[in-house]
Amino acid sequence: MVSAVLLVIFSFLQMTPSPAGAEEKNSGSGSGRIVITAGEIKAMNANTTGDVLNRVPGVKAGDTSVSIHGSSKVKVFVNGKPINDPTSNHGGVRWDMVTLEEIEKIEILRGKGGVEHGSDASGGVILITTRKIERIKGQIKTQAGKNDAFNTKINASVARGRLGMAVSGEYNTFGGYKPNNDKKTGRMGARLEYSPEENRDFILSADYTHDERGLTGLPEFPTPHSRKETEISLFSFLATIDKFKGKTYLNQGKKHNTDKSRHLDKTIKVKKFGQDFSWSHALDSLNGLNMGAGYEWGEATGTSFSTREESSWSAFSSWEKGFKSVPVTLTLGVRGVYHSEFDRAVNPEIKLEYKKKDWQVSASWSRANNTPSFYQRYNETATTIANPDLGMETADNFELGLSISLTPALSTHLSLFYNRLEDRITYVRDNNGIGQYMNIGQVTYKGGDAGMNWAVTDTVNITSAYTCLLAENEKTGLRLTAKPEHKFNCYINFKPMDKLSLDLNLFYTAKVYTNTKNTKTVPEYLRADVRAEFFFDSFDRFSIFSKIENIADKKYYYSDGMLAPGLNWLAGIHYHF
């Protein structure tokens, strides 16, 4: 591949140490970069990647989604490979392509990161790094529960010398808790790693997913015959040689929407090919320079429109400056984007961090452009019509953060944010439940986050996260749909003995508006979940677990107006080898 050839040539050049800005910053949630380590993930006793991310103030993650400060324009990478769902209309993520046990660390950039990682990142960027393949290991996890839910996943890896290989698979079925709510999903993946020497890595990976499900529609506008079938293929080649990194990827998606009651039978296929390069250089011990360029080509075909093609070119540069006299780091960056179908964009970013031993404060401003996806422009379902004239969205994000370690057992994080979006892309529904994606002018997201981590005793740990969000249409003064003003999560972990872990999780969401005129709302709700896991052996290789969601069996609705499940339970086994 192109990236491999060029990087092999670069490898023979004289190299210098990594820049100051390339080092990991394990900064708290009040700083620009939040880092969650493998040890912290294990201590959480989390079941999914979403469980981990929901403990970070301002972040909301579901089974196939993620948003930061109300924005679903979040780019997610695993070892540099994008895992955003190429068939999603609103920021879907394929979390099933990575398991918690594989993760070495998670880095979260709230409201920033677009300079180095490209367009469609106004909400932020999440970088997941997995452990290197060093030996024979793997896991089998199977669980079943209410509503005919069943899930089994397996992954295994083996290393021989400097070569490592990993394979994974997952099968998931769900009968549904309301009419036409069933689903069936299968996934396969493979990864090949080669590390000829230190600081030189090559990773080739491939993933395939097939998903079939029913679409229920809103309670007042049910769609009992609406079905969706999705196929996704992701291929990537990543190469790192000292200061140089290259990424080649091909994402393909196919979506087939049907509804026999409305004579709907539509198919859309999307291909995206991309090539990125980046280079880092240490000017001295306090100054670092990062540069890069990228190209992406896309094509969409469908049953109701002619073939569409588009391409984009981009280049970025960022400079990190440290100071000897004060513990301050200044980062300046800019990315330029040329798109064949939309306006050119210039996106700057400025970050300033002041860090002491037990506390730190940061301030940042960044601009990002979000281009409407092929699916937002051309996909048609029982409740969505196409809008080929959809335009580009631009976001300016401001954030001020503070992180304090009060004691070794207690830390707290605070932040204030203000995000201004021009030509914001949103789904607008008419009185008959049919909608489309539209540009609605200028909107603002204003609010703050607060978080706390407290090791009360050796056996009790509490993590909490609160977000206040005021999302408004500046022209009308009305609130945006599906954006609650208050959200609060609290996770309480109790370990009465070494082999037993018990969790109580509380989730509160304030009422939200479900239409642009603010005449319809979804009530607030408080939900409680409990989870228990027991390990049988001294190496924590075999365990059984159980989880009960919505233990009070409360009837409530998600922020988009969809009916949520009542009391739900699951139980399973987990084996590591």
Q: What is the pLDDT of residues 246-260, one digit of tens each?
A: 999 999 999 999 999
Pull the structure tokens for residue 174: 């769900």
| pLDDT for residue 25 is more than 70 | no
Range with the poorest average pLDDT among 26-35, 438-447, 568-577: 26-35
Q: Domains in the chain, please, with CATH? A: 2-576 (2.40.170.20)
| Residue 327: both structure tokens together | 């513990």
pLDDT digits (tens, 9 = 90+) for 499-516: 999 999 999 999 999 888
- Two tokens at 284? 């001295």
Question: Is the pLDDT assigned to residue 113 strictly greater than 50?
Answer: yes
Over residues 300-329, mean pLDDT: 94
> Does residue 97 register a pLDDT over 60?
yes
Q: What is the pLDDT of residue 9?
A: 30
Write down the pLDDT at residue 296.
95
Is the pLDDT at 16 greater than 50? The verdict is: no
Structure confidence at residue 5 as a pLDDT band (50, 70, 90): very low
The larger pLDDT score, comparing residue 272 to residue 14, is at 272
The whole-number average pLDDT for the span 530-538 is: 88
Cross-strand pairs, 364:
351, 399
Q: What is the mean pLDDT of residues 406-422?
A: 93
Phi, psi of 99 (to 5 degrees): -110, 150
How would residue 1 be classed by pLDDT, with cut points 50, 70 and 90? very low
Q: Which pLDDT value is given to residue 434?
A: 87
Whole-angstrom distance between the N-terminal and C-terminal Cα of the chain?
35
Name every residue whose Cβ is closer than 8 Å to that of residue 577 and which is 6 or more positions away in sequence: 137, 138, 139, 140, 541
Q: Which residues have C-beta within 8 Å of that of residue 28, sequence separation ≥ 6? A: 34, 360, 403, 404, 405, 411, 413
pLDDT tens string 246-298: 999 999 999 999 999 999 999 999 999 999 999 999 888 888 999 999 999 99
pLDDT of residue 27: 41
**Confidence at residue 462, expressed as pLDDT on a 0 to 100 scale:** 95
Residue with tokens 């605070």: 414
Residue 32: pLDDT band with limits 50, 70, 90:
low
Q: How far is Cα 310 from Cα 288, in angstroms, rounded to an integer?
A: 34
Q: Residues 279, 290: contact at Cβ < 8 Å? A: yes
For residues 171-177, give the mean pLDDT.
Answer: 96
Q: What is the mean pLDDT of residues 98-125?
A: 89
When pLDDT is averaged across residues 310-324 and rounded to a whole number, the result is 94
- Enumerate the H helices of 236-384 as residue ranges: 374-378
Which of 64, 71, 62, 60 has the alpha carbon at shortest distance from 111? 71
Determine the Cα–Cα distance for residues 206 and 248; give it in Å rounded to an integer.
12
More confident position, 2 or 51: 51
Q: What are the pLDDT digits (tens) for 456-466?
A: 999 999 999 99
Average pLDDT over all residues of the chain = 89
Average pLDDT over residues 132-149: 92
| Per-residue pLDDT band at 2 (split at 50, 70, 90) | very low
Q: What is the pLDDT of residue 89?
A: 64
